[in-house]
Amino acid sequence: MTELATILVDRIRAGGPITLADYMAECLLHPAHGYYTNRSPFGADGDFTTAPEISQMFGELLGLCMAQYWIDIGRPTGTLAELGPGRGTLMADVLRATRAVPGFHDAVQVTLIEASPALRDQQRQSLGTHPVTWLDKVEDLPEGPLLLLANEFFDALPIRQFTRHLAGWSETLVGLRDDRLSLGKGEPLPIPALAHRLADTAPGQVVEHCPAGQMIAARLGDLIARHGGAALVIDYGDWRSRGDTFQALQKHQFTDPLAQPGHADLTAHVDFEALAMAAAPAKRAFTTQGQLLAALGIEARAKALAQRLNGQALQSHHAAFRRLTDPVEMGSLFKVLALFRPGFPPPPGFA
């Protein structure tokens, strides 16, 4: 067992089974043995590759989308923020693509919500000398207009998972079997937060609930509704959660989520409807990643970049374009939720 597994086994032996949310939080964020505490999981040498690492086009187009929206809403002074910025690749591409937009860099303070000192060091290297503010949590975002990007952030937030029963909802718990971590079910109980899901589920169906994600969405929605701006949430998931999507990834392969606590990435699909509801009164628009990138002009950008490439570099470029946009790859699996101020149009790329 990993060191964290031993800690969790002792905790469960002493206090009983824990929720999936508690298990995920310990595995990902334990101060000594958590997944994000001890490693850089990004890229070919890590456990997964995100869209900004696949191609510069992703960050460039999102950056220009944000800059154009800043112009559309009157060029306010405010914050350009990112949740979970990883190695800083996305924000570096955003800043490079928008440096020619008159006044944009002077008007927005780049702010990264990142608690890991190791990742902050990598982000500093990626962003060079550009002024950056780091915050530990979303609650610390300043009052004022906000332009925010969140790419593959919400999928890593701890979830609670419930199975519908006639008598209520049975929660998935992490307990012990033969002194090893094992999944089980709690007794069916009424869950007020899921009362609205009784109409669209049947006994035996699974629903996942992310309280942390809804709290963050509520904060973003409140800021944007009062001060203006927009947030783009890009992640895998769908408009309404249904089914068991809890999973672990290690070395780009799916693995048992209980096998090596602290050594694998744990995620679940995002329920975009729940985020949008939590973000009210901010308005929302919703599309797929492929449709958004197409509307923002990725085909023209890909052709322009291809003119400078040949051989293996050109093949890799074409493969990156397909991976980002093709419906059978990331194009349809990944969705984009835009939050924006009531009375204003949605950001570019959203009908």
| Domain assignment of residue 298, yes or no | yes
| Number of separate domains in the chain | 1
Place of tokens 């942390």: 212
Q: How far is CA 246 from CA 23, 202, 269, in A?
A: 12, 20, 7
Cis peptide before 281 (omega within 30 of 0): yes
pTM score: 0.94
Tell me which residue of 282, 270, 290, 287 sits closest to 330, measured CA to CA.
290
What are the tens digits of pLDDT across the range 231-251? 999 999 999 989 999 999 988
pLDDT at 251: 82
pLDDT at 303: 97
| Domain assignment of residue 2, yes or no | no
pLDDT interval class at 45 (50, 70, 90): low
Domain range for residue 240? 35-157+210-340
pLDDT at 252: 76
Place of tokens 């628009």: 285
pLDDT at 171: 98
Residue 40 predicted with pLDDT over 70: no
Residue 43 predicted with pLDDT over 60: no
* Long-range pairs, 36-42, Cβ under 8 A, ≥24: 36/116, 36/119, 37/116, 38/262, 40/87, 40/118, 40/119, 40/122, 41/265, 42/86, 42/87, 42/89
| Domain assignment of residue 163, yes or no | no
pLDDT at 46: 64
pLDDT interval class at 182 (50, 70, 90): very high
pLDDT at 259: 94
| Domain assignment of residue 330, yes or no | yes
**Mean pLDDT in residue range 183-190:** 96
pLDDT interval class at 1 (50, 70, 90): confident
pLDDT interval class at 117 (50, 70, 90): confident
Q: How far is CA 344 from CA 144, 282, 321, in A?
A: 16, 10, 31
Q: To the nearest whole number, what is the mean pLDDT of the chain?
A: 95
Residue 151 predicted with pLDDT over 80: yes
pLDDT at 115: 84
User: In sequence order, which ranges of the chain are alpha helices (DSSP H)?
Assistant: 3-15, 20-29, 35-38, 51-54, 56-72, 89-98, 104-107, 117-127, 211-227, 272-278, 289-295, 298-306, 311-325, 330-333
Concatenating the DSSP letter of every residue in 111-144 gives EEE---HHHHHHHHHHHTTS--EEESSGGGPPSS
**Mean pLDDT in residue range 129-134:** 97
pLDDT at 62: 98
pLDDT at 203: 96
| Domain assignment of residue 27, yes or no | no
Cβ within 8 Å of residue 222, ≥6 positions away: 282
The CATH number of residue 79's host domain is 3.40.50.12710
pLDDT interval class at 287 (50, 70, 90): very high
| Domain assignment of residue 237, yes or no | yes
| Domain assignment of residue 15, yes or no | no
What are the tens digits of pLDDT across the range 195-230? 999 999 999 999 999 999 999 999 999 999 999 999
Cβ within 8 Å of residue 313, ≥6 positions away: none
| Domain assignment of residue 81, yes or no | yes
161: helix, strand or coil: strand
**Mean pLDDT in residue range 166-181:** 94
